[in-house]
């Protein structure tokens, strides 16, 4: 990759935008959408799992994005 191409991918903060959690079309966003689609209709089970698995307590927020 040439220097100019690298500069196009850098944010003002100096990080690679595509690897940032806040980048809409980045890898994290893509993986989150994939996970959501694989979970299917998990909405009904998430509250039950949240009783014992802390990670599911924020499922509604995850599902919104």
The predicted-structure confidence for 25-37, as pLDDT tens digits, reads as follows 788 888 888 988 8
Instruction: Tell whether 19 is covered by a domain.
Output: no
C-alpha distances out from residue 33 to 3, 12, 23, 25, 42, Å: 31, 26, 13, 10, 14
Instruction: Tell whether 58 is covered by a domain.
Output: yes
Q: What range defines the domain where residue 53 resides?
A: 25-65
- pLDDT, tens digit (0-9, with 9 covering 90-100), for 12-22: 888 887 778 77
Instruction: Tell whether 43 is covered by a domain.
Output: yes
Instruction: Tell whether 65 is covered by a domain.
Output: yes
Burial of 6 (0-12, 13-18, 19+ CB in 10 A): exposed
Dig out the tokens for 13 from the structure: 């903060």
Instruction: Tell whether 54 is covered by a domain.
Output: yes
- Which single residue is written with the structure tokens 């924020």? 58
Instruction: Tell whether 20 is covered by a domain.
Output: no
Instruction: Tell whether 51 is covered by a domain.
Output: yes
How many domains are contained in the chain?
1
pLDDT of res. 51: 92
In this prediction the pTM is 0.50
Instruction: Tell whether 16 is covered by a domain.
Output: no
């Amino acid at each position: 990759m040439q220097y100019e191409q690298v500069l196009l991918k850098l944010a003002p903060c100096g990080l690679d935008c595509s690897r940032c959690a806040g980048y809409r079309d980045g890898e994290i966003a893509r993986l989150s959408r994939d996970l959501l689609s694989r979970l299917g209709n998990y909405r009904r089970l998430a509250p039950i799992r949240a009783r014992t698995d802390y990670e599911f307590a924020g499922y509604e927020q995850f599902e919104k994005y």
